[in-house]
Protein backbone atom coordinates (compact mmCIF):
# COMPACT_ATOMS: atom_id res chain seq x y z
CA UNK A 1 0.00 0.00 0.00
CA UNK A 2 1.38 3.44 -0.94
CA UNK A 3 2.20 5.78 2.00
CA UNK A 4 -0.48 8.30 1.00
CA UNK A 5 -3.16 5.60 0.66
CA UNK A 6 -2.20 4.08 4.03
CA UNK A 7 -2.32 7.44 5.79
CA UNK A 8 -5.71 8.26 4.25
CA UNK A 9 -7.01 4.89 5.48
CA UNK A 10 -5.53 5.56 8.93
CA UNK A 11 -7.16 9.00 8.98
CA UNK A 12 -10.62 7.53 8.29
CA UNK A 13 -10.19 4.94 11.05
CA UNK A 14 -9.06 7.66 13.46
CA UNK A 15 -12.07 9.86 12.73
CA UNK A 16 -14.57 6.99 13.03
CA UNK A 17 -13.08 5.64 16.26
CA UNK A 18 -12.73 9.11 17.76
CA UNK A 19 -16.38 9.87 17.05
CA UNK A 20 -17.31 6.84 19.14
CA UNK A 21 -15.21 7.65 22.20
CA UNK A 22 -14.81 11.45 22.15
CA UNK A 23 -17.30 14.30 22.48
CA UNK A 24 -18.13 15.93 19.13
CA UNK A 25 -16.44 19.18 20.14
CA UNK A 26 -13.11 17.37 20.36
CA UNK A 27 -13.22 16.74 16.61
CA UNK A 28 -12.65 20.42 15.91
CA UNK A 29 -11.37 22.13 12.79
CA UNK A 30 -8.07 22.69 14.59
CA UNK A 31 -7.77 18.97 15.29
CA UNK A 32 -8.36 18.12 11.62
CA UNK A 33 -6.00 20.86 10.44
CA UNK A 34 -3.25 19.61 12.73
CA UNK A 35 -3.67 16.05 11.51
CA UNK A 36 -3.59 17.09 7.83
CA UNK A 37 -0.49 19.23 8.33
CA UNK A 38 1.24 16.39 10.15
CA UNK A 39 0.17 13.93 7.46
CA UNK A 40 1.46 16.32 4.77
CA UNK A 41 4.88 16.47 6.42
CA UNK A 42 5.11 12.68 6.68
CA UNK A 43 4.50 12.33 2.95
CA UNK A 44 6.85 15.00 1.56
CA UNK A 45 9.57 16.61 3.62
CA UNK A 46 12.07 19.29 2.66
CA UNK A 47 13.94 21.30 5.25
CA UNK A 48 13.83 24.91 3.96
CA UNK A 49 17.29 25.58 5.43
CA UNK A 50 18.84 23.10 3.01
CA UNK A 51 17.45 25.02 0.04
CA UNK A 52 18.45 28.36 1.52
CA UNK A 53 22.04 27.12 1.85
CA UNK A 54 21.86 25.87 -1.75
CA UNK A 55 20.84 29.30 -3.08
CA UNK A 56 23.83 30.96 -1.44
CA UNK A 57 26.11 29.14 -3.87
CA UNK A 58 24.20 30.05 -7.04
CA UNK A 59 23.14 33.65 -6.33
CA UNK A 60 19.39 32.98 -6.33
CA UNK A 61 16.75 34.75 -4.28
CA UNK A 62 15.09 32.47 -1.71
CA UNK A 63 11.54 32.65 -0.35
CA UNK A 64 9.70 30.15 1.80
CA UNK A 65 5.88 30.15 1.60
CA UNK A 66 4.75 28.35 4.78
CA UNK A 67 1.26 26.87 4.80
CA UNK A 68 1.01 27.38 8.56
CA UNK A 69 2.18 30.31 10.68
CA UNK A 70 4.00 27.78 12.82
CA UNK A 71 6.08 26.79 9.79
CA UNK A 72 6.70 23.29 8.57
CA UNK A 73 8.88 21.27 6.26
CA UNK A 74 7.71 21.80 2.71
CA UNK A 75 6.78 19.61 -0.23
CA UNK A 76 7.80 21.55 -3.33
CA UNK A 77 10.65 23.65 -4.71
CA UNK A 78 10.14 26.01 -7.65
CA UNK A 79 13.35 27.06 -9.36
CA UNK A 80 13.50 29.84 -11.93
CA UNK A 81 15.69 29.61 -15.01
CA UNK A 82 16.81 31.78 -17.92
CA UNK A 83 15.54 29.93 -20.97
CA UNK A 84 18.43 31.19 -23.08
CA UNK A 85 21.08 30.44 -20.45
CA UNK A 86 19.96 27.37 -18.61
CA UNK A 87 21.80 26.21 -15.50
CA UNK A 88 21.22 22.47 -15.84
CA UNK A 89 24.10 21.65 -13.47
CA UNK A 90 22.48 23.61 -10.62
CA UNK A 91 19.13 21.99 -11.37
CA UNK A 92 20.71 18.54 -11.30
CA UNK A 93 22.28 19.28 -7.91
CA UNK A 94 18.81 20.05 -6.59
CA UNK A 95 17.47 16.77 -7.97
CA UNK A 96 20.33 14.87 -6.31
CA UNK A 97 19.59 16.65 -3.03
CA UNK A 98 15.80 16.16 -2.94
CA UNK A 99 15.30 12.89 -4.89
CA UNK A 100 11.93 13.93 -6.36
CA UNK A 101 9.52 11.56 -8.04
CA UNK A 102 8.30 14.30 -10.40
CA UNK A 103 10.23 17.10 -12.08
CA UNK A 104 8.02 19.60 -13.90
CA UNK A 105 9.59 21.78 -16.58
CA UNK A 106 7.97 24.74 -18.34
CA UNK A 107 9.95 24.20 -21.54
CA UNK A 108 9.76 20.39 -21.49
CA UNK A 109 9.25 18.92 -24.95
CA UNK A 110 10.35 15.41 -25.88
CA UNK A 111 12.90 15.43 -28.69
CA UNK A 112 14.12 19.03 -28.28
CA UNK A 113 17.72 20.13 -27.63
CA UNK A 114 17.34 19.59 -23.87
CA UNK A 115 15.89 16.07 -24.13
CA UNK A 116 19.29 14.43 -23.55
CA UNK A 117 19.48 16.06 -20.10
CA UNK A 118 16.04 14.80 -19.13
CA UNK A 119 16.73 11.26 -20.34
CA UNK A 120 19.97 11.23 -18.39
CA UNK A 121 18.26 12.43 -15.20
CA UNK A 122 15.46 9.91 -15.64
CA UNK A 123 17.95 7.05 -15.89
CA UNK A 124 20.20 8.20 -13.05
CA UNK A 125 17.59 9.41 -10.57
CA UNK A 126 14.42 7.51 -11.58
CA UNK A 127 12.33 10.69 -11.75
CA UNK A 128 9.39 11.38 -14.04
CA UNK A 129 9.10 14.48 -16.22
CA UNK A 130 6.06 16.51 -17.16
CA UNK A 131 5.39 19.87 -18.81
CA UNK A 132 4.55 22.72 -16.42
CA UNK A 133 2.62 25.04 -18.72
CA UNK A 134 -0.58 25.39 -20.72
CA UNK A 135 -0.94 22.74 -23.40
CA UNK A 136 -0.13 23.90 -26.91
CA UNK A 137 -3.72 23.23 -28.00
CA UNK A 138 -4.97 25.55 -25.27
CA UNK A 139 -2.76 28.54 -26.09
CA UNK A 140 -4.84 30.26 -28.82
CA UNK A 141 -4.13 33.84 -27.85
CA UNK A 142 -3.38 33.12 -24.20
CA UNK A 143 0.38 32.69 -24.45
CA UNK A 144 1.03 36.35 -23.56
CA UNK A 145 -1.44 36.37 -20.70
CA UNK A 146 0.89 35.56 -17.83
CA UNK A 147 -1.82 35.24 -15.22
CA UNK A 148 -3.57 32.45 -17.13
CA UNK A 149 -0.35 30.53 -17.71
CA UNK A 150 0.85 30.97 -14.13
CA UNK A 151 -2.44 29.80 -12.62
CA UNK A 152 -2.29 26.71 -14.81
CA UNK A 153 1.32 26.09 -13.70
CA UNK A 154 0.14 26.15 -10.09
CA UNK A 155 -2.67 23.71 -10.84
CA UNK A 156 -0.28 21.29 -12.58
CA UNK A 157 2.07 21.36 -9.58
CA UNK A 158 -0.81 20.54 -7.21
CA UNK A 159 -2.08 17.75 -9.48
CA UNK A 160 1.31 16.03 -9.78
CA UNK A 161 2.11 16.48 -6.10
CA UNK A 162 -1.09 14.61 -5.27
CA UNK A 163 0.25 11.57 -7.18
CA UNK A 164 3.57 11.52 -5.35
CA UNK A 165 4.91 10.56 -1.93
CA UNK A 166 8.18 12.41 -2.60
CA UNK A 167 9.16 16.09 -2.94
CA UNK A 168 8.42 17.80 -6.25
CA UNK A 169 10.62 20.17 -8.25
CA UNK A 170 9.17 22.62 -10.80
CA UNK A 171 11.57 24.39 -13.21
CA UNK A 172 9.97 27.46 -14.78
CA UNK A 173 11.11 30.79 -16.20
CA UNK A 174 12.35 33.33 -13.67
CA UNK A 175 9.56 35.66 -14.75
CA UNK A 176 6.89 33.17 -13.71
CA UNK A 177 8.66 32.56 -10.40
CA UNK A 178 8.74 36.27 -9.48
CA UNK A 179 6.94 37.33 -6.25
CA UNK A 180 4.01 38.88 -8.17
CA UNK A 181 3.34 35.71 -10.19
CA UNK A 182 -0.15 34.25 -10.07
CA UNK A 183 1.41 30.85 -9.42
CA UNK A 184 1.81 31.88 -5.77
CA UNK A 185 -1.89 32.77 -5.45
CA UNK A 186 -2.71 29.18 -6.39
CA UNK A 187 -0.05 27.38 -4.35
CA UNK A 188 0.14 29.29 -1.08
CA UNK A 189 -3.45 28.38 -0.18
CA UNK A 190 -2.74 24.64 -0.44
CA UNK A 191 0.89 23.68 0.16
CA UNK A 192 4.05 24.67 1.99
CA UNK A 193 6.71 25.38 -0.66
CA UNK A 194 9.91 27.22 -1.58
CA UNK A 195 10.59 29.41 -4.59
CA UNK A 196 14.08 30.40 -5.76
CA UNK A 197 14.69 32.71 -8.69
CA UNK A 198 17.10 35.27 -10.18
CA UNK A 199 15.88 38.85 -9.53
CA UNK A 200 18.27 40.17 -12.18
CA UNK A 201 16.64 37.98 -14.83
CA UNK A 202 13.17 39.22 -13.79
CA UNK A 203 14.36 42.82 -14.14
CA UNK A 204 15.74 42.09 -17.59
CA UNK A 205 12.42 40.63 -18.76
CA UNK A 206 10.48 43.58 -17.33
CA UNK A 207 12.76 46.12 -19.02
CA UNK A 208 12.60 44.27 -22.34
CA UNK A 209 8.80 44.28 -22.20
CA UNK A 210 8.78 48.00 -21.49
CA UNK A 211 11.02 48.60 -24.53
CA UNK A 212 8.82 46.39 -26.71
CA UNK A 213 5.71 48.35 -25.65
CA UNK A 214 7.25 51.82 -26.02
Tell me what pLDDT residue 35 has. 41
What predicted TM-score, i.e. pTM, was given to this entire model?
Answer: 0.74
Residues 6+ apart with CB under 8 A from 94: 54, 77, 79, 169
Tell me what pLDDT residue 44 has. 52
d(CA 134, CA 155): 10
**Strand pairing report for 102-105 and 168-173:** parallel
Cβ count near 89 (within 10 Å): 9
* Tens of pLDDT, residue by residue, the chain (214 residues): 555 555 554 544 544 444 444 444 444 444 444 444 444 444 457 888 888 877 766 678 889 888 776 556 688 999 998 876 667 888 898 999 999 999 999 877 766 767 788 888 989 999 998 889 887 555 555 455 888 899 999 999 999 998 888 899 999 999 999 999 999 999 999 999 999 999 998 999 899 889 988 8
Amino acid sequence: MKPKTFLTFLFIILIVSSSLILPTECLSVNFLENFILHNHNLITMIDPRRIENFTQCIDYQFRHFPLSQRGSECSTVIIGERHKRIERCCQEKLIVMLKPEYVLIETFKAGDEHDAWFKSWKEKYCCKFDRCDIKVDDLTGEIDQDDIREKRMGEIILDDLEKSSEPLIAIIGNWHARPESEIHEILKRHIDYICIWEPEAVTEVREQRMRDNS
